[in-house]
Copies of this chain bind each other. A is one copy, B any other.
């Protein structure tokens, strides 16, 4: 299992719109091969900051499987215009 991490900064004033869009977008990622679970977390210290955590069976389930899927095109349309700046996505492996 690997963990995808993305720190998301949302353009000013669009938090509610983003959360609504994300509630729809979830269904696109949940059906992907290798998807295990996800969380969207909102930062308590910074108003426009969110953390997306997605657990995948393998790195390629995210970087190839999801990103080359038709659902990813929809995911981008729903979500990418809320990000300012565009997020850096990283992958992690559990140590403890």
Q: Which residues of A contact B (CB under 8 A)?
A: 2-3, 5, 19, 22-23, 26, 38-46, 49-51, 59, 90-96
- CB atoms of B95 and A46 under 8 A apart: no
Closest B residue to A96 by beta carbon equals B40
A45 touching B91, Cβ below 8 Å: yes
Interface of A is mostly: strand
Assess A40 versus B2: contact at CB under 8 Å? Given A45-B90, A90-B45.
no
When C-beta atoms are compared, the residue in chain B nearest to A25 turns out to be B96
> Given A5-B51, A51-B5, are A43 and B92 neighbors across the interface (CB < 8 Å)?
yes
User: Are A59 and B39 in contact, with the CB atoms below 8 A?
Assistant: no
